[in-house]
Structure 1
Amino acid sequence: MSKQSGTDFIKWFEDFCPPSYAVEGDPIGLQIGTLHKEVKKVMITLDVSEDVVKEAIKEQADLIIAHHPPIFRPLKKVETNHPSGKVIELCVKHDIAVYAAHTNLDVTDGGVNDMLAEALMLKNTEVLVPTFSDPMNKLVVFVPKEHEENVRRAVGNAGAGHIGDYSHCAFSTEGIGSFRPLEGSDPFIGTVGELELVHEVRLETIFPSRIKKQVLAAMLEAHPYEEVAYDIYPVEQASIKKGLGRIGTIEQEMTLHDFALYVKDKLQVGGVRMSGNPQALVKKVAVLGGDGNKFMSNAKKMGADVFVTGDIYFHVAQDAVAEGLNLVDPGHYAEKIMKQGLADLLEAKCKMEISFAASSTDTNPFVFL
């Protein structure tokens, strides 16, 4: 364990939910303060309100990670007597940085939508709304046999070789490599001016194109040669697809009425809205955190019996019922699941000397009577 700056932590965090996963125009990233400082404590919140910042001050947090960006549209001015301006003032005065992870945290594996699907105990889940595709590449590198394991492990640790639920997948074949070091070279093996034959391994693995830079850096650092022989090829293998929402099945079929109560219980919300026949049977479930009005057709096309999402409009619900799609609306605030969920995930996976806490401040503007 070692102390780390905010920039080091965010670099690690963005490996978990890459900015490239965010939908176009989403204002993610650092919004207030600086990351060029030591970070000892991170607080996770759904929203950034004045009360949330006061909680962060009390908890001595150095960084807030928020799901909903506090600055969603460009600011024309900052007035500290206005709620949004007060939030910025408090953060700056107490040196608290605010970083927003919005749709990239929705999309990423283990993110908000997976947390919702897991809470509802959905099985065999798939992406509901594809939004991101990453082509696959193949790396072929030639390495002396005795250094094969170091290079194999290095590129695997950098993210290469992921296939389904398996990591560090690679294949090796042995052969003879030849080269003649020229004047000015500093060969690891061989003598300048003499032809050298070396027992080498052809090591092959695949990686998504977005991590090309880190895979190559890891390979070059682990490889003993001054000049490394390697190739990168595009492969026809299906691209990695990511997206919003999840669709899967519940273990036990139940009526829509019972399922709505099930959602209320599992997502721990004050109430839900339901549309459709209360006695309709539910087995296949689509879920999407936040406002899912635009994605009713995705749920319908993928055969969902019910779509669980927030902020459903009146006429959208009418159209869904007419098309035979049942709806359960637990509200936008159902995304609060990300607070403890993300704090637990970061606590378990981050090896830096940083502690994580979920905000206990309730930022839901609605009260159920």
Structure 2
Amino acid sequence: MICREIIKEIEVRFPKHYAMEWDNVGLQVGRSDKEVKRIYLALDATDEVIEEAADWGADMLITHHPMIFKAMKKINDEDFIGRRVLKLIRDDISYYAMHTNYDVMGMAELAGKVLELSEPEVLEVTGSMHSESGEVPVGIGRVADLAQPMDLKSCAEMVKKAFDLPNVKIFGEPDMQVHRLGVFPGSGKSAISVSLEKGVDVLVTGDIDHHEGIDAVAQKMAVIDAGHYGVEHIFIADMEHFCRERFPEAEIRTAKIRQPFWVLT
């Protein structure tokens, strides 16, 4: 298939107009007319990922997080982003990013399914979409009442297992009772206020700082910080399934699932 045909299929399912205004999604580097036989999937376009994609002979790299956020004034080998751009161009790899449009149209629902939430609602509404029943809200994150209340420690263990993580960070007392759970993939700092408004007992998210964590607890809401990567790595398997289903003639390879840091205990 041609790169622009693949992009068209992706954007039917994950339309670009659902991305946040500040975001930068779409084809970031490379040719839209390139013939694509091999697609490499990853969460981030790191040096290692780009090297692996090139070594494999990838024609297209698709990531969740955009490599380029801000306007670039120069592209050279003295800047790490510049080096990545040059590498992609040199190896003729078309690079596409799908960020908050995927958060809204894929990640939020998927995270709810991973946690087996029943009849979840949108946590942070960012817009709406037309359906047979009329306009329905869309947005980032999900919130739902648990089928059976549990204590915070048990909830954290459930989250750790569901997302296949080595550890999670918890703000709140272990025996606190959890009736209502919210999940906000990625950085959840901005979701604390709306979670409190929607009566969330525990928010599952990533990138929670010390002050945000203790402030949430002071307002009777616990936080399970499963990490930015910890929650969002589900993007890779989901997009692998999507690509294999929509582009059966293409070879698909995924980056290894691994946290971008290590913990010394």
Q: TM-score if structure 1 supplies the norm length?
A: 0.68
Whether 1:51 aligns to 2:48 is: yes
For residue 156 of structure 2, what is the aligned residue in structure 1?
Answer: 260
Residue aligned with 2:40, SS: strand
Q: Specify which of 331, 347, 364 is matched with residue 227 of structure 2.
A: 331
For residue 113 of structure 1, what is the aligned residue in structure 2?
Answer: 108
2: CA distance, partners of 1:36 / 1:105 = 23
Does the Cα contact within 8 Å between 1:67 and 1:100 map onto a contact in 2? Answer: yes
Does the Cα contact within 8 Å between 1:121 and 1:250 map onto a contact in 2? Answer: no
Q: Specify which of 14, 33, 37 is matched with residue 11 of structure 2.
A: 14
2: CA distance, partners of 1:85 / 1:269 = 33
2: CA distance, partners of 1:21 / 1:355 = 28
Q: Classify 1:355/1:250 alpha carbon distance in 2 versus 1 (closer, same or farther; 3 Å).
A: farther
Whether 1:125 aligns to 2:120 is: yes
Q: Classify 1:270/1:361 alpha carbon distance in 2 versus 1 (closer, same or farther; 3 Å).
A: closer
What are the Cα deviations for residues 141-160 of structure 1, in whole angstroms up to 9, with x where unaligned?
xxxxxxxxxxxxxxxxxxxx
Q: Classify 1:84/1:361 alpha carbon distance in 2 versus 1 (closer, same or farther; 3 Å).
A: farther
For residue 253 of structure 2, what is the aligned residue in structure 1?
Answer: 357
What are the Cα deviations for residues 14-47 of structure 1, in whole angstroms up to 9, with x where unaligned?
0110001001121111111112111112111110
1: CA distance, partners of 2:258 / 2:84 = 16
Whether 1:61 aligns to 2:58 is: yes
Whether 1:26 aligns to 2:26 is: no
- Cα RMSD (Å) of the superposition? 1.8
Using CA pairs below 8 Å that are at least 6 residues apart, which structure has the higher relative contact order?
A: 1
Higher Cα Rg, which structure: 1
What are the Cα deviations for residues 106-146 of structure 1, in whole angstroms up to 9, with x where unaligned?
000xx122222211111111110010124x5xxxxxxxxxx
Q: Classify 1:363/1:273 alpha carbon distance in 2 versus 1 (closer, same or farther; 3 Å).
A: closer
Whether 1:291 aligns to 2:187 is: yes
Q: Count how many residue pairs are aligned between Structure 1 and Structure 2.
A: 264
Unpaired segments ≥5 residues, structure 1: 137-161, 165-236
Residue aligned with 2:119, SS: strand
AA aligned to 2:17 is S
2: CA distance, partners of 1:269 / 1:363 = 9
2: CA distance, partners of 1:97 / 1:118 = 31
For residue 196 of structure 2, what is the aligned residue in structure 1?
Answer: 300
Q: Classify 1:368/1:268 alpha carbon distance in 2 versus 1 (closer, same or farther; 3 Å).
A: farther
For residue 243 of structure 2, what is the aligned residue in structure 1?
Answer: 346
Residue aligned with 1:123, SS: coil
1: CA distance, partners of 2:66 / 2:149 = 37
Whether 1:42 aligns to 2:11 is: no
Unpaired segments ≥5 residues, structure 2: none
Residue aligned with 1:260, SS: helix
Whether 1:248 aligns to 2:144 is: yes
1: CA distance, partners of 2:182 / 2:143 = 4
2: CA distance, partners of 1:118 / 1:75 = 38
1: CA distance, partners of 2:263 / 2:121 = 33
Does the Cα contact within 8 Å between 1:285 and 1:307 map onto a contact in 2? Answer: yes
Q: Classify 1:17/1:42 alpha carbon distance in 2 versus 1 (closer, same or farther; 3 Å).
A: same
Measured after TM superposition, the shift of residue 268 of structure 1 is: 1.6
Q: Classify 1:48/1:367 alpha carbon distance in 2 versus 1 (closer, same or farther; 3 Å).
A: farther
2: CA distance, partners of 1:293 / 1:249 = 22
Does the Cα contact within 8 Å between 1:55 and 1:361 map onto a contact in 2? Answer: no
Q: Classify 1:359/1:131 alpha carbon distance in 2 versus 1 (closer, same or farther; 3 Å).
A: same
AA aligned to 1:133 is S
For residue 224 of structure 1, what is the aligned residue in structure 2?
Answer: none
Q: Specify which of 265, 268, 273 is matched with residue 169 of structure 2.
A: 273
Measured after TM superposition, the shift of residue 253 of structure 1 is: 2.4
For residue 94 of structure 1, what is the aligned residue in structure 2?
Answer: 91
For residue 68 of structure 2, what is the aligned residue in structure 1?
Answer: 71
Residue aligned with 2:229, SS: helix
Q: Classify 1:297/1:16 alpha carbon distance in 2 versus 1 (closer, same or farther; 3 Å).
A: same
